[in-house]
Amino acid sequence: MSTASRPLPVRALALATTAVAVTALLAGCSAAASTSSPSSRASSSPSATAAPVTGSPVSIACTALVPSSAVGGAALATAYPGMTPTTPAKDPLGDAGVVADASGRVCTWNTTDGHPITVAVGSFDDSTLTRVKNGLVTTSNSVPTYGVEGYFALVEKTGIAEAFTGSYWIVATSKSFVEPGSAQPLMAQVLSTLGGSAG
């Protein structure tokens, strides 16, 4: 499927026209940062939300979200050779940063192709998730093959895959994701862990 441009996550791109529309739509939400000030993150690169969102803490560990048995399995090993967890997790950007700031779990893996993979998982109420989804309708591309409500955008060679299952908002980013299918194996594992499915 085609991948329309979407504002690159936090600290990466200037405010885009589509993001201005999203900001108006999502007046009740905002993006803060895990390692930089909320104002600098919000002003330099908007995401699917426009103000700090509040989530419930996600206690699941990265090793449970994507266990070593899955990392060594055929699907992930083939898609992301040399996938190795890193500690601490890479500073998340954009929607992943929003999730991190809302008590979400952030996990990062290095790969032999030199393109780290970051996954952020947050838990939110229905109202917040509805606002986020409405924003993604205008700033990303729907991906029905994830088996749940999913989206994908490619911005300056960085793939941004997002999906929703139950109360969870999942954001996965990497330059290894060149199209929706590139993120499919990882999204399938994360969704399986959280109770959804990605085909």
Q: Are 33 and 53 in contact (CB under 8 A)?
A: no
**CATH number of the structural domain spanning residue 181:** 3.40.1000
User: What domain range is 140 assigned to?
Assistant: 17-194
Instruction: Kindly report which listed range (83-87, 145-149, 171-175) carries the lowest average pLDDT score.
Output: 83-87
Total domains in the chain come to 1
Residue at 157 is within a domain: yes
Residue at 32 is within a domain: yes
CA distance 93 to 158: 11
Stated length of the chain:
199
Residue at 135 is within a domain: yes
Q: Are 99 and 155 in contact (CB under 8 A)?
A: no
Residue at 62 is within a domain: yes
- Read off the tokens for 114: 């030199």
Nearest Cα to 9, choosing from 196, 198, 162?
162
- Read off the tokens for 117: 């993979």
CA distance 88 to 43: 26
Rg (CA), the chain: 15
Q: List the strands of the sheet with 84-86, edge to edge.
A: 84-86, 105-110, 117-123, 168-174, 158-165, 149-155, 141-142
Residue at 150 is within a domain: yes
- Identify the H or E element spanning 13: none
Residue at 12 is within a domain: no
Q: Which amino acid is at 127?
A: S
Per residue in 44-81, pLDDT (tens digit) is 334 665 566 889 999 999 999 999 999 989 999 999 99
How far is the first Cα of the chain from the last one, in angstroms, to the nearest whole number? Answer: 17
Instruction: Kindly report which listed range (10-14, 92-96, 101-105) carries the lowest average pLDDT score.
Output: 10-14
Per residue in 145-162, pLDDT (tens digit) is 999 999 999 988 899 999
More confident residue, 176 or 12: 176
For the chain, what is the total number of helices (H) and then of strands (E)? 8, 7
Residue at 11 is within a domain: no
pLDDT at 92: 78
Residue at 5 is within a domain: no
CA distance 94 to 106: 13
